[in-house]
Structure 1
Amino acid sequence: MTTKTAWNAQIDITEEGRKVTADATLIGKGGERRLVGHGVARCNPADQNDPAIGDELAAARALSDLTNKLLDNAARDIESHTHEPVKGSLG
């Protein structure tokens, strides 16, 4: 038997001058929110401001934060089922 579940990810990016913030939201079935990761990128004053690079960096950092939170949740869920600590890395 095959079961298929869809999760959606949404990335919201806000640019304020030379600072970009991103929120990556993992949305589960039924539209309920699961997890949110955050990321920030700042342009060095000595560098030319390219908003696309800031968007990419902030989004990547938000997705990385979201990944870490999802792995932490998975570890807690495993521990609650096995009643043993997770050893090693899940990532």
Structure 2
Amino acid sequence: MDTMRHEWDVRLFFDEDGRHTECEARLVGERAPGVTARGASTCSDTDRPEARIGEELAAARALSALARKVFSQASGDIEDEVRRPIHLMY
């Protein structure tokens, strides 16, 4: 059996204003489904602003949303192929 290797990359883009951080996670690659998702974080008024922590939280939320979108798309693609509803475990 011949194997083929494909690569998908996740690109993270951040917008910050010192208190709020937003992250867009984008799945890219020749055969990637082109899915994007967003995540955000907000620094509490009582917290010392720490950009790295805001980025980590926003990225984690964006990546989690991205995973859900890819899973949902794969489920829909399978349903299209088998022409009936399916239930996949996440």
TM-score of the pair, normalised by structure 1: 0.90
Give the counterpart letter for 2:13 in structure 1: D
Give, in angstroms, the shift of residue 63 of structure 1: 0.5
Aligned: 1:48 with 2:48: yes
Specify the alignment match of 2:67 in structure 1.
67
Higher strand fraction (1 or 2): 1
Task: Answer with 43-52 or 71-80: which moved more.
Answer: 43-52
Secondary structure in 1 matching 2:34:
strand
TM-score of the pair, normalised by structure 2: 0.91
Structure 2 CA distance, aligned partners of 1:67 and 1:88?
14
Aligned-residue RMSD, C-alpha = 1.6
Structure 1 CA distance, aligned partners of 2:60 and 2:36?
13
Structure 1 CA distance, aligned partners of 2:13 and 2:36?
11
1:68 and 1:17, CA in 2 relative to 1: closer, same or farther beyond 3 A? same
1:40–1:61: 8 Å Cα contact kept in structure 2?
Answer: yes
2:18–2:51: 8 Å Cα contact kept in structure 1?
Answer: no
Aligned length: 89
1:25–1:33: 8 Å Cα contact kept in structure 2?
Answer: no
Give, in angstroms, the shift of residue 34 of structure 1: 0.3
**Identical-residue share of aligned pairs (%):** 33
Gaps of 5+ in 1: none
Q: Which string of whole-angstrom CA distances, capped at 9 and with x for unpartnered residues, describes residues 15-51 of structure 1?
A: 1120000000000218x77011100000011111111
Kindly report which structure 2 residues correspond to 1:1-91, keeping only aligned pairs within 5 A, or say none.
1-29=2-30, 34-89=34-89, 91=90
Structure 1 stretches of 4+ moved >3 Å? none
